[in-house]
Amino acid sequence: MKLIKNSPKIWIKKFPWKKKSSNKYSRGRVLILGGQKNMIGATILAAEACLRVGVGSVKIICTKETIQILSIKFPSALKIEINNISYLRSFLKKESKTTAVALVGPGAGNNTKTMKFTEEILKHIKYVILDADALNSFKNKTKKFLKYLDKYKLITPHKAEFHRLFPTIKKSLENKEKVFKFLKLCKSNILLKGNTTLIGSNKKIIKNSHSSSELAVIGSGDVLAGIIASLVGDNKMSMVEAAAAGAWLHGDIAKKNGRGLISEDLIKGIPAALKRLKNE
């Protein structure tokens, strides 16, 4: 399988810039599964990244413990309180008519509830980015997980998360081989995080070296997932294009920021990074 170097040249023509005719409805909506009270920061980082990159609106699935905090901390995001699977199921049947993209993982919590909620979202929403606890909650349930993956889905694991999901794939293999073996298991998309990030689809593997060691910090992956979720859609980018563009932007912000980066700096750096990309 061909290995391609990531650069704006391979996806810039599809980048979904805002137009004069754009409005919040034409820009689309992203649904984010929040959950854990002690990890609200991860949900907020992902949601704010999503909005700053350019999606029209974000709706966060909250619990009774988190909805008030999120309403105070992040007023520009929509919220809905959902505490059980039956309410989620009926909500998604209606929501899927207006929402085509979901992000599951940042702040969700590693538990059975997250796994069940993730399953329902995968059943009802076309484009789904799966990160962090959306992946961890399926540990020892790989077959069940794989049946939901298709060309409209993306998993974004780091190495440890990858091997929890796919324990039969040898840790000693090079990352390119790990991605290749995943792609043989299912026709979906993967972004394997590391010093060099690899983005794989059933047609190609993209190598992203436009990065910085400063990205090895808590919350960095939540921002990346939010960026990708904002870029993907029927009238936007394909999942693999969005993943490649998101990885490049994420790395570009970190490189410009320099040492001492925290994840809030990534959020602050989005407008300038978009300006640099537009000028290129």
Written as one string, the DSSP assignment of the chain is --EEE--GGGTGGG-----TT--TTTT-EEEEE---GGGHHHHHHHHHHHHHHT-SEEEEEE-TTTHHHHHHH-TTSEEEE--SHHHHHHHHHHHTTT--EEEE-TTT-SSHHHHHHHHHHHHH-SEEEE-THHHHTTTT-HHHHHTT--TTEEE---HHHHHHH-TTS-TTS-HHHHHHHHHHH-S-EEEE-SSSEEEE-SS-EEEE----GGG-STTHHHHHHHHHHHHBSTTSB-HHHHHHHHHHHHHHHHHHH-TT--HHHHHHTHHHHHHHHHH-
187 within 8 A of 147, measured Cβ to Cβ: no
- By percentage, how much of the chain surpasses pLDDT 90? 96
Q: Which residues face 29 on adjacent strands?
A: 57
Nearest to 94 by CA among 118, 116, 122, 124: 124
Q: Mean per-residue pLDDT for 108-125? A: 96
Instruction: Give the pLDDT band of residue 2 (cuts 50, 70, 90).
Output: confident
Q: Mean pLDDT of all residues in the chain?
A: 96
Neighbours of 119 (CB within 10 A): 18
Q: Mean per-residue pLDDT for 14-25? A: 95
Residue 203: predicted pLDDT: 79
Nearest to 101 by CA among 37, 33, 151, 31: 31
Q: Is the pLDDT confidence value at 35 over 80?
A: no
Instruction: Give the pLDDT band of residue 34 (cuts 50, 70, 90).
Output: confident
- Count CA within 13 A, CB hemisphere, residue 57: 13
Residue 46: predicted pLDDT: 97
Q: Mean per-residue pLDDT for 192-214? A: 95
Q: Mean per-residue pLDDT for 62-81? A: 95
Residue 175: predicted pLDDT: 96
Instruction: Give the pLDDT band of residue 202 (cuts 50, 70, 90).
Output: confident
Backbone angles phi, psi at 193, to 5 degrees: -75, 145
Q: Which domains does the chain have, with CATH numbers?
A: 24-279 (3.40.1190.20)
Nearest to 150 by CA among 120, 187, 121: 187
Residue 90: predicted pLDDT: 97
Instruction: Give the pLDDT band of residue 137 (cuts 50, 70, 90).
Output: very high
Q: Mean per-residue pLDDT for 163-175? A: 96
Q: Is the pLDDT confidence value at 155 over 80?
A: yes
